[in-house]
Amino acid sequence: MNVDPELARWSDGAFQVAFAIYVLAMVMFAGQYATSRVRASQQRELAGVTAGASGASRSPAPARPAQRTWFDKFGGMGYALVILGAVFQLASIVLRGFSAGRFPLGNMYEFVSGMVLATVVGGLVFVRKPEHRPLWIFILAPVVALVFVAGTVLYADSAPVVPALRSFWLPIHVSLAVLGSGLFLVSGVASLMFLVRYALIEGRTEDARPGGVRGRIASRLPEARTLDRIAYRVTIVAFPIFGLGVILGAVWAEAAWGRFWGWDPKETMSFVTWVVYAAYLHARATAGWRDAKAAWINVVGFLAIVFNLFFINMVISGLHSYAGLN
């Protein structure tokens, strides 16, 4: 099967542009994060003026035109850049597929690229409200790191896949794994920031809250309840997707290797990850575990995803090793 080098170059170029856009989006969201306290003080001041006016007169005050603060401008620009980055990321994946004449998720470079796209799209869906957007800088931090690692350490030239991957199960199984893993990344970041906010702000009295850098970071995050709700909603969607990917992977294993399950390192770690997220959902629905305890379980699931992605694929040898570095 011939490879089209021109399309491969266009794919690599789109990947590099997506990386640059994500970095620029991080700068915009950093600006929004820095101005979030100013916006909050302006809102409190406006609420006080409105309350005073309503107490002095029963006639309704004329509506004041909403002014776009720097918080809104930075957030809007960052959100638009994330959408643009996702478009270039998708173009990179599609062009890679056309250049090699195959489904474009056949090695670690392509898997991580698809996972990043799933993370970004999941963030666009679940973290779209303006008041939630300060979370984006923490979502983009692992996204930028993953894109950098994929484009350097994990990069592989466009080429046909090995014979073991030439199956109609590849698009189904790998797509579900990519989508589930990418969404779990959004959920894990939300739970991690929930723990920061809860431990430093909402879990303490006002006098005991820390100042300095830690206090400023924690106080500018969305409320702990909001972060917990985002993490839970994302996991509710990602959990069955990832579980279905594990099940269909077992079906593919039976067709390829003559057994559904053989406790291969990749199989075992994927199953452990799925169990951890099942425990999180159970804990999240159990009284007494809904706050920090459940969030810690979700963070463990997030770490399991990262461990499975890098350590299992790159260090431990198993039946899935051919899907690693080419």
Q: What are the boundaries of each domain within the chain?
A: 1-45+70-161, 162-326
Task: Identify the band that residue 82 occupies on the pLDDT scale cut at 50, 70 and 90.
Answer: very high
Distances 268 to 27, 106, 320 between C-alpha atoms, Å: 39, 21, 12
pLDDT number for residue 226? 93
The predicted-structure confidence for 228-278, as pLDDT tens digits, reads as follows 999 999 999 999 999 999 999 888 778 767 777 777 788 888 899 999 999
Average the pLDDT over 75-103 and give the result: 94
Q: Are 275 and 190 in contact (CB under 8 A)?
A: no
Q: Is the dihedral of CA 212, 215, 218, 222 positive or negative?
A: negative
Q: What is the pTM of this model?
A: 0.86
The predicted-structure confidence for 119-169, as pLDDT tens digits, reads as follows 999 999 999 898 888 899 999 999 999 999 999 999 989 888 777 677 788
**H/E segment holding residue 129:** none
Does the domain at residues 1-45+70-161 carry the CATH identifier 3.10.450? no
